């Protein structure tokens, strides 16, 4: 059977013009050999769909809630916390031996109306933010191994976005640069000193004004001894230019500071025809883009996770977001059949191992170093905590 699967995989690979990926090999098997986490964003409402759950559990060793741990879901009313959807993600992960990546504790979007329209003072917001971060992180302590603490705080020019948390009205640190972000990291770390804390953003994968600003922030946080473990590179891609951005160089400079990087939300949106389908040539282009990014991550010991934003084209935010014009952005088709992009990612993982048989051990060593620093690292509060903390 295995042999037949392999033959089928080779035949498929041949027909698609991609080097052979054995169809019997799953993503999580291939990732396991190189010590990499391979994940997908998921929605617990879909767990009852057999093909959805089976594909997710079979192919991935990490899961991230697409929306279930965001503010609107976890604190729908002031001071009233709702963990059912998030708990379903955690239970699914436990049942299938997967890790859970938490997303997210602080964002300028997807906040409940009681919060955005509440006309709170900075002092009140500061208390609300602290309670939210610490209640959520404590609830998932030991079960969520990493958190996107702050999501999408910078604009394309590398300036801080105007948000309720920063300066509208903010938590008393308006105009003080990334101080409010640092504060979020401190509170999350207090609530779970073992969780790996990430800053996560889009359009900052290569070298540009936004990634420069993120780099400068991480450098500053490291200097201050703040417990930042990594940077999430979302990788929502739909053009050649984005796909060709200098991702490896950006990863390398961040890792040199002593943090991990993770590809956190990859998808490659394609134009769709009237029937909602992408062209074969577009699918082949997409496979190349996935291959390049997967290889950049898999071959780099400081890149510890490769994750896509969903996994089946049946459920992806892209068609909704583009009024149906784009889609087909993920590794599995709407009917859960593997796409050329899946073979490309499998190939990239295999290639990383071929290039460096020690890659698994090297990644583990890198992880241990970062995790050790985070766990031992006492935040020098005398230096970095603002007054009134």
- Residues at the interface with ligand 9MR (CB under 6 A): 66-67, 109-110, 151, 202, 234, 265, 317
Q: At what angle do helices 50-59 and 84-95 cross, to 10 degrees?
A: 60
Instruction: List phi, psi (to 5°) of 318.
Output: -65, -50
Residue 91 C-beta: closest distance to ligand 9MR, Å: 21
Measuring CA to CA, which residue among 332, 263, 235 is closest to residue 62? 263
Catalytic residue positions? 152, 265
Q: How far is CA 185 from CA 166, 182, 198, 364, 368, in A?
A: 14, 5, 9, 24, 20
Q: Which is nearer to ligand 9MR, 21 or 204 (CB)?
A: 204
Measuring CA to CA, which residue among 267, 301, 37, 253 is closest to residue 146? 37
Strands (DSSP E) contained in 234-383 are: 236-237, 260-268, 270-271, 303-308, 326-327
Place of tokens 């014009």: 325
* The pair of three-digit structure tokens given for residue 164, joined into one six-digit string: 């309720």
Residue 219 C-beta: closest distance to ligand 9MR, Å: 24
What is the DSSP secondary structure assignment for residue 107, as one 8-state letter? -
Residue 85 C-beta: closest distance to ligand 9MR, Å: 13
Helix (H) or strand (E) holding 232: strand 230-233
Asked if 197 and 188 count as a contact pair (C-beta separation under 8 A), the reply is: yes
The CB-nearest residue to ligand 9MR is 317
Q: Which is nearer to ligand 9MR, 189 or 236 (CB)?
A: 236
Q: Which is nearer to ligand 9MR, 105 or 295 (CB)?
A: 105
Residue 109 C-beta: closest distance to ligand 9MR, Å: 5
Q: Which is nearer to ligand 9MR, 154 or 202 (CB)?
A: 202
| Cα–Cα distance for residue pair 264/110, rounded to 1 Å | 18
Q: Which is nearer to ligand 9MR, 160 or 295 (CB)?
A: 160
Residue 2 C-beta: closest distance to ligand 9MR, Å: 36
Measuring CA to CA, which residue among 230, 128, 99, 112 is closest to residue 187? 128
């Amino acid at each position: 059977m295995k042999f037949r699967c392999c033959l089928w995989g080779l035949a498929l690979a041949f027909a698609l013009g991609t080097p052979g990926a054995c169809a019997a090999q799953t993503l999580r098997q291939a990732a396991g050999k190189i010590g990499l986490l391979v994940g997908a964003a998921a929605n617990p409402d879909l767990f009852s769909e057999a093909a959805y759950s089976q594909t997710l559990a079979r192919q991935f060793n990490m899961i991230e809630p697409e929306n279930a741990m965001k503010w609107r879901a976890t604190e729908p009313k002031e001071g009233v916390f709702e963990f059912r959807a998030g708990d379903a993600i955690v239970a699914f992960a436990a049942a299938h031996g997967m890790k859970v990546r938490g997303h997210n504790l602080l964002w300028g979007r997807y906040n409940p109306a009681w919060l955005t329209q509440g006309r709170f003072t900075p002092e009140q917001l500061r208390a609300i933010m602290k309670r939210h971060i610490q209640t959520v992180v404590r609830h998932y302590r030991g079960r969520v191994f990493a958190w996107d603490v702050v999501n999408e705080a910078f604009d394309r020019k590398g300036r801080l976005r105007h948000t309720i948390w920063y300066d509208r009205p903010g938590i008393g640190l308006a105009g003080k640069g990334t101080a409010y972000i640092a504060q979020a990291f401190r509170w999350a770390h207090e609530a779970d000193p073992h969780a790996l804390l990430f800053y996560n953003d889009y359009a900052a994968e290569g070298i540009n004004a936004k990634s420069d600003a993120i780099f400068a922030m991480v450098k500053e946080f490291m200097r201050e001894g703040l417990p930042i473990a990594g940077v999430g590179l979302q990788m929502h891609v739909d053009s050649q230019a984005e796909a060709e951005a200098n991702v490896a160089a950006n990863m390398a400079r961040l890792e040199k500071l002593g943090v991990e990087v993770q590809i956190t939300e990859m998808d490659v949106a394609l134009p769709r025809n009237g029937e909602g389908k992408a062209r074969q040539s577009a699918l082949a282009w997409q496979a190349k883009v996935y291959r390049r990014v997967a290889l950049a991550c898999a071959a780099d010991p400081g890149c510890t996770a490769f994750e896509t934003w969903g996994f089946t084209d049946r459920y992806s935010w892209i068609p909704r977001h583009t009024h149906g014009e784009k889609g087909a952005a993920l590794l599995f088709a709407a009917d859960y059949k593997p796409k050329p992009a899946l073979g490309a990612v499998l190939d990239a993982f295999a290639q990383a191992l071929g290039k460096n048989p020690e890659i698994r051990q090297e990644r583990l060593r890198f992880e241990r170093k970062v995790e050790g620093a985070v766990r031992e690292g006492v935040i020098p509060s005398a230096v970095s905590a603002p007054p009134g903390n």
